[in-house]
């Protein structure tokens, strides 16, 4: 079973132009590092256009584009983005395309309704994850929304964005009640516990080690650390071996390494006592430079590197686990 455990769908604000702008800014670091955009100031429209970023990046896409972007994949996880303010603007998942039947004007307050609606359109393909923000209308409202999203809307997991929403996962008041509810609902939680190049995001709330209290207080919660904790990959992987129910999701990290580096990293994981069953494939589609097929093929080709270097191969069953079976087990789709 091949699963992409990390994707985003629909828009990120009621203003569609903002979604494109947000994606473009998120991609700035990539193009700056490649020398395609100036590193000392914001690019002009012409400079953006010259590297193909006039409307690329975090595109506003619907269910059919999502499926078309994932040939050969069995399941795709759609992550809601809960409401938050960015530069005074309310952002979060909205349906500007009109592909859902959620009534009323587009608003991030209905992020979970939109994702549930899209999940319902292709229930055999999409797995919808809810999102809540305890810093938006308080933790009580966030907990109530999580309960509604799972018991009434049928969403199957939770995505959290602590650093973007300026709260710490180690905060007993803002964070613990959410994990307590996740434990009660028996749903997995994917946490963006990794860095961000967005100036507004708080790095002091981003470290994977901040999840330690969650692991100790809520050991039954199946917790996935998004992006393998980049740039704290070693720290995130150590958390995975410390806490039996912690896992790491590959997006972002996989885009920053070559196939050879990925191969050596997988070997290294076993040496640092992290079973490969802890790793799950994700792409962050459409938010990263490589498409899901390219990234999947990168995982599948690590043993070509092994053979070239005359080093031990990674067993195919372990690679199949990373590409979907490990996540299917977390979701209890398989034993």
Closer to Zn ion by CB, 60 or 284: give it.
284
Residue 118 main-chain phi, psi, to 5 deg: -65, -40
Closer to Zn ion by CB, 284 or 325: give it.
284
- At its nearest, how many Å lie between Zn ion and the CB of residue 288? 9
Closer to Zn ion by CB, 75 or 318: give it.
75
Tokens at 200, concatenated: 């507004």
Place of tokens 């490649």: 34
- At its nearest, how many Å lie between Zn ion and the CB of residue 80? 11
- CA-CA distance, 278 to 274, in Å (whole number)? 7
Closer to Zn ion by CB, 23 or 63: give it.
23
Closer to Zn ion by CB, 113 or 284: give it.
284
Closer to Zn ion by CB, 7 or 96: give it.
7
Is-contact 327 320, C-beta < 8 A? no
- At its nearest, how many Å lie between Zn ion and the CB of residue 23? 11
- At its nearest, how many Å lie between Zn ion and the CB of residue 217? 26
- At its nearest, how many Å lie between Zn ion and the CB of residue 315? 29
Residue 97 main-chain phi, psi, to 5 deg: -80, -15
* β-pair partners for 160: 191
Residue 141 main-chain phi, psi, to 5 deg: -65, -35
Site of interaction with Zn ion (CB under 5 A): 284
Tokens at 292, concatenated: 């899901």
CA distances from 320 to 255, 273, 301, 313, 314 (A): 19, 20, 12, 14, 10
Instruction: Please enumerate in sequence order all residues whose Cβ is within 8 A of that of 240, keeping only pairs 6 or more positions apart, or say none.
Output: 225, 246, 247, 248, 274, 278
- At its nearest, how many Å lie between Zn ion and the CB of residue 50? 27
- At its nearest, how many Å lie between Zn ion and the CB of residue 65? 16
Closer to Zn ion by CB, 118 or 305: give it.
118
Closer to Zn ion by CB, 226 or 305: give it.
226
Instruction: Please enumerate in sequence order all residues whose Cβ is within 8 A of that of 176, keeping only pairs 6 or more positions apart, or say none.
Output: 213, 214, 217, 218
| Minimal CB distance residue for Zn ion | 284
- CA-CA distance, 43 to 142, in Å (whole number)? 38
Reduced to 3 states, what is the DSSP secondary structure of residue 249?
Answer: strand
Is-contact 158 111, C-beta < 8 A? no
- At its nearest, how many Å lie between Zn ion and the CB of residue 98? 23
């Amino acid at each position: 079973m091949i699963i992409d455990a990390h994707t985003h769908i629909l828009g990120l604000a009621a203003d569609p132009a903002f979604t494109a702008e947000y994606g473009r800014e998120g991609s700035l670091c990539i193009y700056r590092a490649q020398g395609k955009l100036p590193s000392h100031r914001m690019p002009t429209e012409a400079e953006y256009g010259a590297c193909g970023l006039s409307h690329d990046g975090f595109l506003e896409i619907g269910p059919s584009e999502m499926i078309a972007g994932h040939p050969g994949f069995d399941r795709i996880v759609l992550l809601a983005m809960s409401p938050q303010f960015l530069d005074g603007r309310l952002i979060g998942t909205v349906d500007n395309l009109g592909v859902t039947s959620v009534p009323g004007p587009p608003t991030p307050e209905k992020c979970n309704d939109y994702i549930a609606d899209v999940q319902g359109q292709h229930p055999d393909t999409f797995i919808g994850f809810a999102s809540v923000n305890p810093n938006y209308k308080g933790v009580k409202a966030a907990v109530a929304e999580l309960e509604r999203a799972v018991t009434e809307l049928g969403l199957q997991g939770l995505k959290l964005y602590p650093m973007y929403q300026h709260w710490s996962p180690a905060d007993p008041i803002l964070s613990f009640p959410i994990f307590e509810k996740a434990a009660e609902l028996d749903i997995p939680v994917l946490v963006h516990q990794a860095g961000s190049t967005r100036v507004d995001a708080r790095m002091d709330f981003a470290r994977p080690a901040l999840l330690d209290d969650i692991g100790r207080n809520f050991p039954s919660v199946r917790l996935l650390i998004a992006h393998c904790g980049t740039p704290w990959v070693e720290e995130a992987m150590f958390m995975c071996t410390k806490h039996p129910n912690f896992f790491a999701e590959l997006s972002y990290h996989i885009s920053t390494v070559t196939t050879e580096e990925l191969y050596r990293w997988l070997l290294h994981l076993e040496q640092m006592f992290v079973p490969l069953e802890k790793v799950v494939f994700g792409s962050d589609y459409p938010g990263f430079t490589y498409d899901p097929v390219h990234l999947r093929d990168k995982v599948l080709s690590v043993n070509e590197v092994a053979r070239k270097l005359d080093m031990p191969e990674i067993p195919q069953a372990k690679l199949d686990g990373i590409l979907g079976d490990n996540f299917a087990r977390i979701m209890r789709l398989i034993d």
